Structure 1
Amino acid sequence: MLKKFVDPLPFMETIHPTCLMQNTPFYEVTMQETFQKLHRDLPQTKIWGYNGNYPGPTFHVQRHQPVHVLWKNELPEHHFLPIDTTVHGAEKSNPEVRTVVHLHGGVTPDTSDGYPEAWFTRDFQQVGPHFTNKLYTYPNHQPATNLWYHDHAMGITRLNIYAGLAGMYVIHDKEEAHLNLPSEPYDIPLIIQDRSFREDGSLFYPSEPDQPATAPHPSVVPEFFGDTILVNGKVWPYFNVEPRRYRFRILNGSNSRFYQFSLSNSTPFIQIGTDQGLLEMPIRVPSLVLAPAERADVIIDFSNCYGQSIVMQNEFVTQGEKPDPETTGSVMQFRVSKPLSCPDLSSIPTHLSVIPKLSNYQRTRTLRLNMREDSYGRNIHLLDDRLWSDPVTEAPKLGQTEIWNIVNVTEATHPIHLHLVRFQILDRQPFDRDIFDKEGRLVATGDRVLPELNERGWKDTVRARSGEVTRIIVPFGPYPGLFVWHCHILEHEDYEMMRPYVVIQ
C-alpha cells in the first residue's frame, strides 16, 4: 500500500497564448506521451498529457473574449491500455490511437465541440467521419464558471482520459471579480481521480470483466474503480495552508467513481458555485456529493484551524460498500501550518448571482435509461433503448426550451451530460418501475422532491438516480448543429450510453 500524504499538492500551470490571430488569442496544445512521478514511492508512470502534463495546463480566459486552440496529436500509434475492438468506434478498421478534445460545459459551435466521431490521429494523418477543422474556437460568452477539457474519441474515451488527457478551463468575468472572493494564490483548482498501479508504476486498467466468460479479450468493463485517489496528478497529496479562507474549484474527473467529500474536523464546505457558475447565494454543506464530471466551487475557512491536520474524506458508498479510510476513503490532507502571510481581506457575500427560474417551455420528452444484453452476454447501458448508430430522435429547435423527463429503470445512478447547453433541475420523483416496464405509463409512488439547495444553479451534468424520474428544463441554443448527450460514467458512455442530437433552425 502506498503511504498517504507524503507528496505536496501539485498546481497545474497556466497556459498562455502563443500569439494573436486576428486579435484573438491563439493557443497550441500538443498531446504527448511522457513519464511522470505520481507518488514518492512509485517509479515514474507512463502517461498521456496535454503539453506532456497530467493533468493538462489550466486555461484562464475572460468572458466575451474568444480564443483559438490548435489541438495536436503527437501520441504513439499504439495504445498502452486494453482496447475492446467490439465497441462501436474502436473496430480494428480504425486507428488504435485517436483523439478529439471536448470542452465540457462549453457553449460552443458544433465544429469546435469535440464530436466523438470528429477524431484525428498523429499529425492529422487520418481523420474521423465527422472531422470538421483543425482549429477550434471557443466563444467564451458564458458567465464565470469552471469547465474542463478532455478527450472524447469514440469508443476509447475511458482509456484516453485514464491515460491522462484532462485539464481545467476557467472562465472569469467582471461580476465575479467584484465579489471579493478568495483569489490567487488562495484560489486553487482540484482535479480528483482514482487510479490503480502495478508495482513497476504503470497504470493498471482491467482488460476484461468478471462475467461473462464469453466476453472477448480485451473487453470493456461495466465500470472502473481504482484503489488510490489522485488530486492534480498526485496520489493522496498534502497541502500546507494558512489559517484563512481558500477557494477550491473541485472537479470529479474519475471514470466511474462518485464521491461524498467531507472534512475530518467537521468544518463545512461553503459552496458558491456548481457546474455552470455561481449559485444565487452561498450554501453551507457538511458534505459534498459529486458524480463523474460534476464540479463544485467551494470555500473552506481554515481561520480557526491553525495547527490542525485535516483530511478530506470520501464517504460515498460504492457497490454497496463504504470506502476504506486507508485507501479510497481518503482524498488529501490540509495542514494548517503556514503563518498568515497577510490579512485575509476576502469575504463571502450573502448574494452571489441572479439565476432566473425557467418555467416556459415548448415541449416535453420522456427518455428512458435502461439496459439490455449484447451478443456476448454483457450488459449494455442505453439511452431510450437506442444504440449510437440508430437514427437521431432528439431534434430540439434552436431557441426553444424543453423539459426532459429522464426515467431511470436501471439499478445505478447515471450522471447525464448534455453538450452545448446549460439547464436547471426541476425535481426528482420515484415511480412504479413494474408498471412502466409493462405498460410504459409513469405512475408516481411519492412526491416530487426539489433539488438540493446546492443543485439549484445552472448545471450541465445531472445525477439521475435509480427508480426516479429526474426532470430538467433545457433552453437549446445559441448554436444549431450536431451535438451529443450521454452518461458520464466513461465505461457506459464508450459502450452505447451516448446519443447524437441535433439543434435545428
Structure 2
Amino acid sequence: MDRRRFLQATSLTGGALLLPHPGASPARATPGGGLPPVDHPLHLTPIADPDAIPRFVNELPRPSRINLPNGGNRTLVMSPTWQDVLGGGPGPRTPVWGFGQAGGLGGTSVTWPGPTIVARKHRPVRIHWANALPFEHLLPVDTTIHWAYSHTHHTIADHGVPTVVHLHGGHTGPDDDGHPEAWYTLGGATGPRFTGTRFRYDNDQEAAALWYHDHTMGLTRLNVYAGLAGFYLLRDDRELALIEQHRLPGGPYELELMIQDRTFHPDGRLAYPDIPDTSSEWPGGPSIRHEFFGQVITVNGKAWPYLEVEPRQYRLRLLNGSNSRFYRLSVDGRWPFPVTQIGADNGFLHRPHRLDGPLVISPGERVDLVVDFRDHRGAVLELTNDAPTPFPKGAPVAPPADKVLQFRVDRPYDRRVPEPRLPEALRGAPYRVAGTPARTRRLLLLDGRDEFGRPKPRLGTVEHGALGWDDPITENPRVRTVEVWEVFNTTYETHPVHLHLAHFQVLGRAPFTATRDPETGALSDIRVGPAQPPDAGELCPKDTVMAPPGRVTRIKVCFDKRGVYVWHCHILEHEEHEMMRNYEVV
C-alpha cells in the first residue's frame, strides 16, 4: 500500500482530533516545580524520587465510556497527549500516548487509559484504529531484538511509530485479532500480516471485561507503557438482568480499575530502563530489560489515587495492565470488609467466591469483584500489594510500590438505590469446555540467553525444546476440535500464559521432575506428582493462566476459527524477547 492510499484509509472526519504532521516531535513535559532526582543504575538520566510523589491526594479518574448497545462503527485515534499523572498541585504534566474518539460532537479527548467501550453480545462493533503516533518514540527503542522494522529499511524517523491493536480476550477472527505483524504507521509502512485498520468484533461471547492494547512486534512493552490500553466491557442479557434485578451493583457503583506501575523523570516524563546489562558483547544503545518493575503505582492513569465511596456494595472490574509486575492485593494482608469474586477473564464464576486471603493477579488478567463497605462508614482503607518481584520468589516489594489505592467511605448513602443481593449462582453450571480432547500437547517454558548474554526466556515443546518466533509452527489444532495443553514451566518464576482467540478451562496443576537436554532444553524422564485443582477464582472462562515454576499447568481449549494466532507469556518484556509463538487453526 502506498503512502497516499494509506493516509486515505486512516483519515479522520469531523475535526474532533488532529493528526500530527510527519516529523512532529513527541510531547515534552511542561515546566513545573519538578521532583527531586535519585540515581538508579538502570537509567542513563536521573529518575524522580518515588517517595516525593504524593500519595492519596488525587481522586481516582473514571475513564469515559463509549456506549454501543446496538453495535455500530467508531473511529479511535492513537495520539500523543499530556496528562496530570502525578498530581498533588502545580507541577509537571506527563507526556503520554492514549486513545480518543474521533468525529464531530461525539469526539473525546485523547486519554490514558482510553475510553471504555461498552458493547452488547451479538451486536457487532467495527472500530477504525487510526494511528496518529509521531515520528519519534517517547521511550528508548531496542533495535537488536526482533521488532516491527527488523529486516526492513524503515525507520521511526521516516515512517512513524508502528502500532496494531489487540482486543485481549476477544473471540475474534485472524484478520481482526491484532497479530503482532499486522502493524501499520502514519507514514504508510505496514507489516507482513497487515489487512487493514478497521477491525470487526462480533461480540459472540458471554459478558466479560476485555481490554484493548497495542500488540506491535517488539514494541508492545513500550507502546503499552506509553499509555495505549483501555477497557472493553461486553454485556449480555444475563448480566443486564442481574443488574436490573439489583443482584449486582451497576451504574456509578460499577468501576473499572486498570493497575499499572511506572517510573518518572524529575520533569514528569515517563522513564524506562535504557541501558543494557554490562556485557563485553553489547554494541551499545537502548536495551530491552528482562523485566520492568516501576516504583509508582497508577490506577486509571493516576499515581496512588483515592476513591470516595458510599457505605454500600461496589462492583470493581480489576485489570493488571502492568508490563511485568504481579499484584497480591489486600488491606495489609487481610480483608476488613467482605470481598467476593464473581468472575474473571471471560465471564462469571458458577457461584460467588468470598475471598479469605490476598488476591493474586498477573499481567493481562482481569478479576470481577463485589466489595462491601456497608459496615465501614467513615473508614479510610488502603489497598496494598505484597507480591515479590519477580513472582513468587523474588525480592520483597519495596515501598512505596506496596501501596495501590485508598478507599474513603465518606460519601452519603443514597437510599433511593436498592442494595444488591448477590445471587447464589451466576451461571447455570460450572464452566466446562465440552468435548473429548483430540490430542494433548506438551509445551515448555524455559530460560535462555541471547547472543549478547542477556536473559531470553523461551517457549517450546517438551519434545523439541526451545523454539523461536521464526521456527515452524508446532501447534496446529484442527478447527472445531478440543485439545488439552500441558504447560511445563522449567523457569524460576510464574509466567502468565495467554492464548489469542481461545477461551479455556483451567484443569489444574501438578509438580513435576524431568531430565533436561543441556543443548535444546527438551525434557525426558518426566515424573508428574499429584494433581492440584484450579483455584476457586479460576472456575470460569479464561484466556490468561498463571503457570508457576516447577509445575505443569493443564488447560482444555476449543479452537473454532481458522487462522494464524499467537500464544505467549504476558510479561511484556518476555513476550517481546522471543517468548511468543504462532499457532494455526487448520
- TM-score w.r.t. the length of structure 2 is 0.82
Deviation at 1:356, TM superposition (A): 4.1
Matched, 1:12 2:80: no
- When structure 1 is superposed on structure 2, of 263-272 and 449-458 the one drifting more is 263-272
1:100 matched residue in structure 2: 164
Deviation at 1:433, TM superposition (A): 4.1
**Partner Cα distance (1:103, 1:399) in 2:** 22
Deviation at 1:321, TM superposition (A): 2.5
**Partner Cα distance (1:373, 1:127) in 2:** 30
Deviation at 1:435, TM superposition (A): 5.9
- When structure 1 is superposed on structure 2, of 303-312 and 81-90 the one drifting more is 81-90
Match of 2:385 among 308, 314, 324: 314
1:499 matched residue in structure 2: 581
The one-letter code sitting in structure 1 at the alignment partner of 2:408 is: R
**Partner Cα distance (1:298, 1:239) in 2:** 16
CA deviation vs aligned residue, 1:321-370 (integer Å, no higher than 9, x gap): 2223x411110000000110124431211100133434621110001111
The one-letter code sitting in structure 1 at the alignment partner of 2:419 is: L
**Partner Cα distance (1:405, 1:82) in 2:** 36
**Partner Cα distance (2:525, 2:308) in 1:** 52
The one-letter code sitting in structure 2 at the alignment partner of 1:416 is: V
**Partner Cα distance (1:43, 1:105) in 2:** 35
The one-letter code sitting in structure 2 at the alignment partner of 1:335 is: R
CA deviation vs aligned residue, 1:127-170 (integer Å, no higher than 9, x gap): 11110122100000100000000000001100000000000000
**Partner Cα distance (1:442, 1:68) in 2:** 50
The one-letter code sitting in structure 1 at the alignment partner of 2:336 is: S
The one-letter code sitting in structure 2 at the alignment partner of 1:212 is: S
**Partner Cα distance (2:82, 2:523) in 1:** 52
Matched, 1:355 2:419: no
Deviation at 1:472, TM superposition (A): 0.6
Matched, 1:270 2:340: yes
Deviation at 1:211, TM superposition (A): 4.2
Deviation at 1:238, TM superposition (A): 0.2
Task: Write out aligned runs for 1:183-332 (5 A).
Answer: 183-215=250-282, 216-264=284-332, 266-285=336-355, 286-319=357-390, 320-324=394-398, 326-332=399-405
Matched, 1:414 2:495: yes
**Partner Cα distance (1:356, 1:146) in 2:** 17
Matched, 1:165 2:238: no
- TM-score w.r.t. the length of structure 1 is 0.95
1:50 matched residue in structure 2: 99
Deviation at 1:24, TM superposition (A): 5.0
**Partner Cα distance (1:187, 1:237) in 2:** 17
The one-letter code sitting in structure 1 at the alignment partner of 2:457 is: H
1:77 matched residue in structure 2: 135
CA deviation vs aligned residue, 1:288-330 (integer Å, no higher than 9, x gap): 1000000000000000000100111111122432223x41111
2:453 matched residue in structure 1: 377
2:221 match: secondary structure: helix
Q: Where in structure 2 are there 5+ consecutive unaligned residues?
A: 1-50, 101-109, 461-465
1:449 matched residue in structure 2: 532
**Partner Cα distance (2:294, 2:475) in 1:** 35
The one-letter code sitting in structure 2 at the alignment partner of 1:398 is: V
CA deviation vs aligned residue, 1:446-476 (integer Å, no higher than 9, x gap): 3111111111111100111111111111111
1:444 match: secondary structure: strand
**Partner Cα distance (2:248, 2:522) in 1:** 52
Q: Where in structure 1 are there 5+ consecutive unaligned residues?
A: none
1:432 match: secondary structure: strand
2:238 match: secondary structure: helix
1:178 match: secondary structure: helix
**Partner Cα distance (1:433, 1:239) in 2:** 49
1:142 matched residue in structure 2: 205
**Partner Cα distance (1:221, 1:137) in 2:** 34
Going from structure 1 to structure 2, the CA distance change for 1:436 and 1:262 (only over 3 Å counts) comes to: farther
Deviation at 1:439, TM superposition (A): 7.5
Q: Is the 8 A contact 1:425 1:455 kept in 2?
A: yes
**Percent same amino acid among aligned pairs?**
44
Match of 1:32 among 79, 83, 89: 79
- When structure 1 is superposed on structure 2, of 197-206 and 37-46 the one drifting more is 37-46
- When structure 1 is superposed on structure 2, of 292-301 and 200-209 the one drifting more is 200-209
2:182 matched residue in structure 1: 118
Number of corresponding residues? 497
**Partner Cα distance (1:448, 1:129) in 2:** 42
Q: Is the 8 A contact 1:424 1:472 kept in 2?
A: yes
Q: Is the 8 A contact 1:409 1:433 kept in 2?
A: no
**Partner Cα distance (1:170, 1:403) in 2:** 29
**Partner Cα distance (1:157, 1:187) in 2:** 29
CA deviation vs aligned residue, 1:248-294 (integer Å, no higher than 9, x gap): 00000000000011124632420000101100000011321000000
Matched, 1:462 2:545: yes
Q: Is the 8 A contact 1:262 1:268 kept in 2?
A: no
CA deviation vs aligned residue, 1:43-90 (integer Å, no higher than 9, x gap): 110100011210000000000100100000111011120111011124
The one-letter code sitting in structure 2 at the alignment partner of 1:473 is: K
